[in-house]
């Protein structure tokens, strides 16, 4: 009887299908965004301040007000944004020219919404603005 019970427990994941997969396979990697415990992680070949600027501009373009904006001890940044959907974003320098951007939306996470934010950050990284005379300008960051 014990052998039958042990066999059933070992075979259960194969019969349960995809419902058990998140429990067995963690983190799940999709493209370049890694998901672990409802939080998205993406690495960039940029400096932390460049991604901080791009993230703030992206949140503004997506109409998410920034409610908390603090530097971290390790030289990174921590942002809290949004009204109904609370974005918790952590930007940290891993190595020179390698920065990790972590995004958590609400408690459980929202994969499509996080991917939308990452696409917006990607489009705002290395963006140069020009004034009316055609001269490059720096975007002003507003808190």
Q: What is the three-class DSSP state of 3?
A: helix
Identify whether 16 is part of a domain. no
Domain of 118 in residue numbering reads as: 28-137
- State pLDDT tens for residues 25-57: 434 333 467 767 778 899 998 888 889 989 999
Q: Has residue 13 been placed in a domain?
A: no
Q: Is residue 9 part of a domain?
A: no
In-domain check, residue 68: yes
State residue 102's pLDDT score: 92
CA dist., res. 100 & res. 110, Å (int): 18
Res 17: pLDDT:
55
How many domains does the structure of the chain reveal? 1
Report if residue 117 sits inside a domain. Answer: yes
CA distance 87 to 80: 6
Q: CATH number of the domain that 123 lies in?
A: 3.30.160.110
Burial of 38: CB neighbours in 10 Å, binned 0-12, 13-18, 19+: middle
**DSSP state, residue 136:** E
- Tell me: pLDDT of 90 over 80: yes
Asked if the structure places residue 21 within a domain, the reply is no
DSSP state, 64?
-
Tell me if residue 29 falls in helix, strand or coil. strand
């Amino acid at each position: 009887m014990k052998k039958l019970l042990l066999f059933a427990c070992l075979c259960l994941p194969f019969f349960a299908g995809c419902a058990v997969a998140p429990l067995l396979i963690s983190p799940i990697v999709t493209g370049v965004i890694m998901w672990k415990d409802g939080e998205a992680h993406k690495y960039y070949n940029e400096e932390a301040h460049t991604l901080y600027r791009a993230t703030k501009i992206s949140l503004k373009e997506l109409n998410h007000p920034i409610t908390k904006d603090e530097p971290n001890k390790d030289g990174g940044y921590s942002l809290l944004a949004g009204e109904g959907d609370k974005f918790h974003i952590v930007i940290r320098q891993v190595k020179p020219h390698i920065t990790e951007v972590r995004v958590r939306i609400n408690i459980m996470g929202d994969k499509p919404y996080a991917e939308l934010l990452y696409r917006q950050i990607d489009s705002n990284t290395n963006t140069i603005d020009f004034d009316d005379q055609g001269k490059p300008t720096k975007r002003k960051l507003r808190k």
